[in-house]
Structure 1
């Protein structure tokens, strides 16, 4: 067994994300038998000594059948209506299933704004930590009833990765309808006529060369592309990830011998640097010359006004902005020390040419996170 799998198998604190297809059916809503099987595997992990937080998709899927809908809705209002029905049913189903083990379930609904806003994040973290301390099972979902297209996580895979960092989890397990990460669609032969190959371990980006990731299925919004992005996000923050089939939940939550494991970076990002890199909403961008790009990405230097060639957006002191190279590619993110109007007067000037109150770095090195 690799060290990454051993770390997941022995993790004391774990976040488990369960996909829509694992707990719902288009025609019947929630599949109680499959949900009970998942609860059995989760309970076994908790009895083995781990704290477990569940991120459960399926609210919209659970609401489709009761509302008489024939397929997953596309418009926002109907999605929110389905979620309002489904969230109640899904929370009740989890509560009933865990009640077999005398476990209490607490529902935690989050929006992207709750994670991008640092005070909201602290509140969510306290709630989740307290539920764990009281030996309740926290079941987290995106609050689809109020989230708009502009402030959505996009899928619960990303939400799970953010929650894993938020609660300082030791591992993240993503359970869905696929057995792991494959080199292509496992249901179809590849261009060479050979079946897709399961990738058992991802140590770094080079292991993903040639991998083709698809989008979500009929009941969900994720798909392999979102799972891959979430796994890389969590691994980048220092949390190892296991991607496996929900039908293999017992093994995934036991010895972690199934699926694909993503090795975590050796050291975790600090809470602030993680927030800047992955969670914060950006309010504008600064385009840098080649020298400034090299300084902030390779040498981890502060951004000075002389290296800025253009700006976009109406940002304020303390907002997170994207740092772009001249081709428009995002190379870093950081917290600006000035309003957009002030930066506009500073572009291209050396620090010595500016008034005393404008001689700080535009983005200090401590508040700057390269993306490469």
Structure 2
């Protein structure tokens, strides 16, 4: 019998549409800025993969790191305004470097800068899909980054690992490859020689008890925690994931026999359900009793007022809300059918006890997505 991980690695190696994410630490050096030799090595591996009939989208960090040296900044700034200034300088340097490097292979680069609004707002999400589709159809290589020059604390993705997972689903990618300065997932800090390498993650139980180490660089924002979270998000949506070192990009984009492979869930979520579960912003919380949690997660039923024990937030009918259990864990997300001010008087009441105009589901099953991992 074939191993699920063997199938996962083969799926990554043969993917016809692929998202590759590379971290700041793999492209830049504190004090020296952009490392063109590292960038060229990455582009060499990407160009080889594209030559084998793969459409590829590159999600690249490094804009802020690339802007440090030109602005005489010794380390990544902590305040948002200086980060934005560094990004505005570094983004030009990064885009130019990619254009020059891909040009060695007669490949055209298209820059795509996103804020979380572009995937959180449904209309923006669809527009981003069309943009990527057209760029790929024209044979260009989309290079994606968070739009650090205008993003505010309220609308930031927080790291490009999450952005890569969202883009992978948005474009209908067959696989996601996350490249950084760490060669795999370990059961502790990889700088500790006693830690164990995790070659495959086939389910949530494989992550139980792991103390996830961080990146060895001070340039990035994600670290291993965000990479694992992104891999879980993509895998839960049906996308196989490989986590590997950028120095192994040729192998990662070739036979995919390095790093840690994350086996995908059996069913790929539709674009709407993925957006609802992982991309849309939440406007509030509904607290559920045990019976409602079981109905929502196990039987995939609609959420009724009788199963709601509490309401948090200021939302309107049609907004997305988190559904939480007694331990305050987010177990599902959905589109709520009532305004926040309407719900308190309905909480815990059976449908037949409610006025006729209020006898509807709080969250309909068609607008509800159980989450496979706790966020």
> Structure 2 length as normaliser, TM-score?
0.95
CA contact (8 A) 1:23 1:32 kept: yes
In the TM superposition, residue 215 of structure 1 has moved relative to its aligned partner by 3.5
> Considering only aligned residues, what root-mean-square deviation do their CA atoms show, in Å?
1.2
1:265 corresponds to: 265
Where does structure 1 differ by over 3 angstroms across 4 or more consecutive aligned residues? none
In structure 1, the partner of 2:250 is: 250
Which residue pairs with 2:64 in the alignment?
A: 60
8 Å Cα contact 1:4-1:263 kept in structure 2: yes
Please list, as runs of the form range in 1=range in 2, the aligned pairs for 1:323-362 lying within 5 A after superposition.
Answer: 323-362=323-362
Q: Does 2:222 match 1:222?
A: yes
Q: In the alignment, which residue of structure 1 is the partner of 2:191?
A: 187
What is the match of residue 300 of structure 1? 300
Which secondary structure does the structure 2 equivalent of 1:149 belong to?
coil
Tell me the CA shift for residue 356 of structure 1: 2.1
Q: Quick check: 1:332–1:368 contact (8 Å CA) kept in 2?
A: yes
| Structure 2 equivalent of residue 90 of structure 1 | 94
Please say if residues 215 and 226 of structure 1, whose CA atoms lie closer than 8 Å, have aligned partners that are also in contact: no
Displacement of 1:371: 2.2
Aligned to 1:238: 238
1:353 deviation in Å? 2.1
**Matches of 2:76 and 2:133 in 1, distance apart?**
34
2:159 is equivalent to residue 160 of structure 1: no
Structure 2 contact 55–136 (Cα < 8 Å) conserved: yes
1:105-154 deviations in Å (ceiling 9; x for gaps): 11000111111111101111111111000001100000111111222111
Cα distance, 1:2 vs structure 2: 0.7
Q: Is the 8 A contact 1:24 1:58 kept in 2?
A: yes
Q: Aligned partners of 1:338, 1:8: CA distance in 2, in Å?
A: 43
Structure 2 distance, partners of 1:265, 1:324, is 22
> Where does structure 2 lack aligned partners over 5 or more consecutive residues?
none
1:178 maps onto 2:182 in alignment = yes
Match of 2:35 in 1: 31
2:311 counterpart SS class:
strand
Structure 1 Cα separation of the partners of residues 329 and 202 of structure 2: 25
Confirm or deny: 8 A CA contact 1:59 1:86 kept in the other structure.
Answer: yes
Matched residues in 2 for 1:61 and 1:107: separation?
Answer: 18
Question: Structure 2: how far apart are the matches of 1:329 and 1:4?
Answer: 29
CA shift, 1:201, in A, is 1.1
Quote how far apart the aligned CAs of 1:348 are.
Answer: 2.0
Q: Which moved more, 1:356-365 or 1:158-167?
A: 356-365
Give the number of equivalent residue pairs.
367
Q: In 2, distance between residues paired with 1:324 and 1:235?
A: 22
Partner of 1:201: 200
Alpha-carbon contact 2:58-2:142 (below 8 Å) kept: yes
1:128 lines up with 2:132 in the alignment: yes
Question: Shift of the alpha carbon at 1:186?
Answer: 2.1
